[in-house]
Protein backbone atom coordinates (compact mmCIF):
# COMPACT_ATOMS: atom_id res chain seq x y z
CA UNK A 1 0.00 0.00 0.00
CA UNK A 2 2.79 2.37 0.95
CA UNK A 3 4.68 1.49 -2.23
CA UNK A 4 1.58 2.29 -4.31
CA UNK A 5 1.18 5.61 -2.51
CA UNK A 6 4.83 6.48 -3.15
CA UNK A 7 4.38 5.58 -6.82
CA UNK A 8 1.33 7.84 -7.10
CA UNK A 9 3.18 10.67 -5.35
CA UNK A 10 6.07 10.27 -7.76
CA UNK A 11 3.68 10.46 -10.72
CA UNK A 12 2.07 13.61 -9.33
CA UNK A 13 5.48 15.24 -8.83
CA UNK A 14 6.45 14.34 -12.40
CA UNK A 15 3.24 15.85 -13.72
CA UNK A 16 3.78 19.03 -11.70
CA UNK A 17 7.37 19.32 -12.93
CA UNK A 18 6.25 18.72 -16.53
CA UNK A 19 3.52 21.33 -16.17
CA UNK A 20 5.99 23.89 -14.80
CA UNK A 21 8.43 23.20 -17.64
CA UNK A 22 5.60 23.53 -20.18
CA UNK A 23 4.55 26.87 -18.69
CA UNK A 24 8.15 28.12 -18.74
CA UNK A 25 8.53 27.03 -22.36
CA UNK A 26 5.27 28.69 -23.43
CA UNK A 27 6.09 31.92 -21.59
CA UNK A 28 9.64 31.93 -22.94
CA UNK A 29 8.44 31.30 -26.49
CA UNK A 30 5.79 34.00 -26.17
CA UNK A 31 8.38 36.50 -24.95
CA UNK A 32 10.73 35.69 -27.85
CA UNK A 33 7.86 36.07 -30.33
CA UNK A 34 6.91 39.38 -28.68
CA UNK A 35 10.50 40.68 -28.92
CA UNK A 36 10.88 39.55 -32.53
CA UNK A 37 7.53 41.09 -33.49
CA UNK A 38 8.65 44.37 -31.89
CA UNK A 39 11.89 44.33 -33.85
CA UNK A 40 10.13 43.56 -37.13
CA UNK A 41 7.71 46.40 -36.47
CA UNK A 42 10.61 48.76 -35.66
CA UNK A 43 12.32 47.80 -38.92
CA UNK A 44 9.14 48.44 -40.84
CA UNK A 45 8.49 51.82 -39.21
CA UNK A 46 12.07 53.05 -39.62
CA UNK A 47 12.81 51.78 -43.12
CA UNK A 48 12.70 54.14 -46.08
CA UNK A 49 10.83 56.83 -44.17
CA UNK A 50 11.62 59.57 -46.67
CA UNK A 51 10.42 57.44 -49.59
CA UNK A 52 6.95 57.70 -48.10
CA UNK A 53 7.05 61.50 -48.20
CA UNK A 54 6.42 62.55 -51.79
CA UNK A 55 7.54 66.03 -52.84
CA UNK A 56 7.09 67.18 -56.44
CA UNK A 57 9.66 69.15 -58.44
CA UNK A 58 7.18 72.02 -58.74
CA UNK A 59 6.91 72.22 -54.93
CA UNK A 60 10.70 72.41 -54.67
CA UNK A 61 10.92 75.19 -57.26
CA UNK A 62 8.05 77.13 -55.75
CA UNK A 63 9.34 76.97 -52.19
CA UNK A 64 13.03 77.42 -53.10
CA UNK A 65 13.83 74.98 -50.30
CA UNK A 66 15.81 71.75 -50.33
CA UNK A 67 13.71 68.63 -50.89
CA UNK A 68 14.76 67.18 -47.53
CA UNK A 69 13.57 70.29 -45.68
CA UNK A 70 10.19 70.03 -47.40
CA UNK A 71 10.01 66.36 -46.43
CA UNK A 72 10.81 67.28 -42.83
CA UNK A 73 8.00 69.85 -42.86
CA UNK A 74 5.60 67.13 -43.97
CA UNK A 75 6.83 64.69 -41.30
CA UNK A 76 6.48 67.42 -38.67
CA UNK A 77 2.76 67.57 -39.43
CA UNK A 78 2.61 63.96 -38.25
CA UNK A 79 4.71 64.62 -35.13
CA UNK A 80 5.64 68.13 -34.06
CA UNK A 81 8.62 66.74 -32.07
CA UNK A 82 10.54 66.11 -35.31
CA UNK A 83 13.28 68.75 -35.50
CA UNK A 84 15.79 67.34 -37.96
CA UNK A 85 17.23 64.50 -39.98
CA UNK A 86 20.60 62.77 -39.58
CA UNK A 87 22.44 60.77 -42.21
CA UNK A 88 25.84 59.08 -42.46
CA UNK A 89 26.88 57.56 -45.76
CA UNK A 90 27.26 53.75 -45.95
CA UNK A 91 25.51 53.20 -42.61
CA UNK A 92 21.95 52.56 -41.51
CA UNK A 93 21.94 55.97 -39.83
CA UNK A 94 19.29 57.78 -41.86
CA UNK A 95 16.60 58.83 -39.41
CA UNK A 96 14.49 61.71 -38.15
CA UNK A 97 15.78 63.49 -35.05
CA UNK A 98 13.23 64.27 -32.35
CA UNK A 99 13.12 66.50 -29.30
CA UNK A 100 10.73 66.85 -26.41
CA UNK A 101 10.81 68.30 -22.89
CA UNK A 102 12.55 65.25 -21.38
CA UNK A 103 15.28 62.79 -22.33
CA UNK A 104 13.29 59.66 -21.52
CA UNK A 105 10.30 59.54 -23.87
CA UNK A 106 12.13 58.75 -27.11
CA UNK A 107 14.24 56.10 -25.44
CA UNK A 108 11.31 53.76 -26.11
CA UNK A 109 9.03 55.52 -28.59
CA UNK A 110 9.19 55.72 -32.37
CA UNK A 111 8.85 58.92 -34.36
CA UNK A 112 5.19 57.94 -34.70
CA UNK A 113 4.89 58.12 -30.89
CA UNK A 114 4.29 54.38 -30.64
CA UNK A 115 6.06 52.21 -28.06
CA UNK A 116 9.28 50.82 -29.51
CA UNK A 117 12.16 49.06 -27.76
CA UNK A 118 14.64 50.64 -30.21
CA UNK A 119 13.37 54.15 -29.50
CA UNK A 120 14.37 57.04 -31.74
CA UNK A 121 17.29 59.36 -32.42
CA UNK A 122 16.71 62.43 -30.29
CA UNK A 123 18.19 65.78 -29.36
CA UNK A 124 18.90 66.62 -25.74
CA UNK A 125 15.98 68.48 -24.18
CA UNK A 126 18.17 71.50 -23.36
CA UNK A 127 19.42 72.07 -26.89
CA UNK A 128 18.19 75.16 -28.71
CA UNK A 129 18.81 74.77 -32.45
CA UNK A 130 19.14 78.54 -32.83
CA UNK A 131 21.56 79.29 -30.00
CA UNK A 132 23.24 76.17 -28.54
CA UNK A 133 26.97 75.67 -29.11
CA UNK A 134 26.62 71.89 -29.25
CA UNK A 135 23.81 69.77 -30.66
CA UNK A 136 23.90 66.73 -28.37
CA UNK A 137 22.15 63.76 -29.99
CA UNK A 138 21.40 60.35 -28.45
CA UNK A 139 20.46 56.99 -29.92
CA UNK A 140 20.29 53.34 -28.90
CA UNK A 141 22.40 50.54 -30.25
CA UNK A 142 20.17 47.70 -31.46
CA UNK A 143 20.46 44.16 -32.76
CA UNK A 144 18.35 45.20 -35.73
CA UNK A 145 21.14 47.63 -36.76
CA UNK A 146 18.73 50.53 -36.30
CA UNK A 147 19.40 53.87 -34.61
CA UNK A 148 23.08 54.39 -33.65
CA UNK A 149 24.35 50.81 -33.91
CA UNK A 150 26.42 51.73 -36.97
CA UNK A 151 28.04 54.64 -35.15
CA UNK A 152 30.47 52.01 -33.79
CA UNK A 153 31.89 51.71 -37.30
CA UNK A 154 33.93 54.78 -36.36
CA UNK A 155 35.92 52.63 -33.93
CA UNK A 156 37.76 51.62 -37.11
CA UNK A 157 39.99 54.44 -38.38
CA UNK A 158 39.79 53.11 -41.93
CA UNK A 159 36.04 53.64 -41.87
CA UNK A 160 36.53 57.18 -40.59
CA UNK A 161 39.04 57.98 -43.36
CA UNK A 162 36.39 57.37 -46.00
CA UNK A 163 33.44 58.73 -44.00
CA UNK A 164 34.59 61.98 -42.44
CA UNK A 165 31.28 63.79 -42.77
CA UNK A 166 27.84 63.70 -41.17
CA UNK A 167 24.78 65.34 -42.68
CA UNK A 168 22.42 66.98 -40.21
CA UNK A 169 19.38 68.75 -41.61
CA UNK A 170 17.00 71.00 -39.70
CA UNK A 171 13.94 72.91 -40.86
CA UNK A 172 16.26 75.81 -41.68
CA UNK A 173 19.27 74.23 -43.37
CA UNK A 174 20.94 71.18 -44.84
CA UNK A 175 24.34 71.12 -43.14
CA UNK A 176 27.51 69.06 -43.39
CA UNK A 177 29.59 68.38 -40.28
CA UNK A 178 33.23 67.26 -40.29
CA UNK A 179 34.30 64.80 -37.59
CA UNK A 180 36.98 66.08 -35.21
CA UNK A 181 37.03 63.42 -32.46
CA UNK A 182 35.91 59.85 -31.79
CA UNK A 183 36.21 58.49 -28.27
CA UNK A 184 35.05 56.07 -25.59
CA UNK A 185 33.56 57.47 -22.41
CA UNK A 186 31.05 56.67 -19.70
CA UNK A 187 28.38 58.22 -17.50
CA UNK A 188 30.38 59.09 -14.40
CA UNK A 189 29.30 59.03 -10.78
CA UNK A 190 28.66 62.40 -9.17
CA UNK A 191 31.61 61.82 -6.86
CA UNK A 192 34.09 61.14 -9.69
CA UNK A 193 36.63 63.93 -10.04
CA UNK A 194 38.81 65.14 -12.91
CA UNK A 195 36.68 63.44 -15.56
CA UNK A 196 35.31 64.73 -18.87
CA UNK A 197 31.52 64.80 -18.73
CA UNK A 198 30.94 65.52 -22.40
CA UNK A 199 27.18 65.13 -21.90
CA UNK A 200 27.01 68.32 -19.82
CA UNK A 201 28.23 70.56 -22.64
CA UNK A 202 25.47 72.17 -24.67
CA UNK A 203 25.71 75.94 -24.24
CA UNK A 204 29.20 77.41 -23.91
CA UNK A 205 29.28 80.19 -21.34
CA UNK A 206 32.45 81.58 -22.90
CA UNK A 207 35.31 80.79 -25.25
CA UNK A 208 37.33 79.05 -22.54
CA UNK A 209 34.52 76.58 -21.82
CA UNK A 210 34.09 75.92 -25.54
CA UNK A 211 37.81 75.31 -26.04
CA UNK A 212 37.96 73.02 -22.99
CA UNK A 213 35.29 70.81 -24.52
CA UNK A 214 37.03 70.63 -27.90
CA UNK A 215 40.47 70.01 -26.35
CA UNK A 216 39.18 67.26 -24.05
CA UNK A 217 37.40 65.56 -26.93
CA UNK A 218 40.58 65.72 -29.01
CA UNK A 219 42.69 64.29 -26.14
CA UNK A 220 40.38 61.32 -25.77
CA UNK A 221 40.05 60.67 -29.50
CA UNK A 222 41.14 57.15 -30.43
CA UNK A 223 42.86 58.51 -33.55
CA UNK A 224 43.98 61.88 -34.83
CA UNK A 225 41.61 63.48 -37.30
CA UNK A 226 43.63 66.62 -37.94
CA UNK A 227 40.43 68.62 -37.42
CA UNK A 228 39.69 71.07 -34.63
CA UNK A 229 37.07 73.77 -33.97
CA UNK A 230 37.15 77.45 -33.14
CA UNK A 231 34.82 79.35 -30.85
CA UNK A 232 31.42 79.86 -32.53
CA UNK A 233 31.84 76.85 -34.82
CA UNK A 234 28.63 74.86 -34.47
CA UNK A 235 29.30 71.46 -32.87
CA UNK A 236 27.40 68.19 -33.23
CA UNK A 237 27.92 65.35 -30.71
CA UNK A 238 26.50 61.87 -31.30
CA UNK A 239 26.34 59.56 -28.28
CA UNK A 240 25.41 55.90 -27.94
CA UNK A 241 25.93 52.98 -25.53
CA UNK A 242 29.17 51.01 -25.45
CA UNK A 243 29.27 47.73 -23.55
CA UNK A 244 32.92 47.20 -22.54
CA UNK A 245 32.24 48.89 -19.18
CA UNK A 246 29.22 49.79 -17.02
CA UNK A 247 27.46 52.88 -18.40
CA UNK A 248 29.96 52.98 -21.27
CA UNK A 249 29.46 55.40 -24.15
CA UNK A 250 30.81 55.79 -27.68
CA UNK A 251 30.96 59.38 -28.88
CA UNK A 252 31.53 61.18 -32.18
CA UNK A 253 32.05 64.97 -32.21
CA UNK A 254 31.90 67.04 -35.40
CA UNK A 255 31.81 70.71 -36.45
CA UNK A 256 29.70 72.38 -39.11
CA UNK A 257 31.62 73.14 -42.28
CA UNK A 258 28.92 73.71 -44.88
CA UNK A 259 25.25 74.65 -45.00
CA UNK A 260 22.77 75.51 -47.73
pLDDT digits (tens, 9 = 90+) for 203-221: 999 999 999 999 999 999 9
Domain ranges of the chain: 1-46, 81-259
Mean pLDDT throughout 139-164? 92
Q: Is 133 a catalytic residue?
A: no
- From the list 86, 166, 241, 251, the catalytic residue is 241
| C-alpha distance across the termini of the chain, in Å | 92
Q: Write out pLDDT tens, residues 225-247.
A: 999 999 999 999 999 999 999 99
Q: In the predicted model, is pLDDT for residue 193 greater than 60?
A: yes
pLDDT tens for 88-117 read 999 999 999 999 999 999 999 999 999 998
Which residues, other chains included, contact 126 with Cβ-Cβ below 8 Å and sequence gap of 6+?
A: 132, 202, 203
Q: Please state, as a whole number, how many other Cβ atoms lie within 10 Å of the Cβ of residue 257.
A: 15
pLDDT confidence tier of residue 56, bands split at 50, 70 and 90: confident
pLDDT band at 33 (very low <50, low <70, confident <90, very high): very low
> At the top level of CATH, which class does the domain 81-259 belong to?
mainly beta
Per-residue model confidence (pLDDT) at position 47: 60
Question: How many residues are listed for the chain in this entry?
Answer: 260
Amino acid sequence: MKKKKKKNNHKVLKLIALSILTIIFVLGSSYIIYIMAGRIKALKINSNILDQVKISESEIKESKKAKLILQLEELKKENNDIVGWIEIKDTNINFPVLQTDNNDYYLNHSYKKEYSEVGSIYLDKDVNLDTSSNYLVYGHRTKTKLMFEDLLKYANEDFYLSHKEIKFTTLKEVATYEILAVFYSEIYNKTDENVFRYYYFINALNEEEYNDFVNNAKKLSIYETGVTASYNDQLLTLSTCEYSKPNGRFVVVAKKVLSN
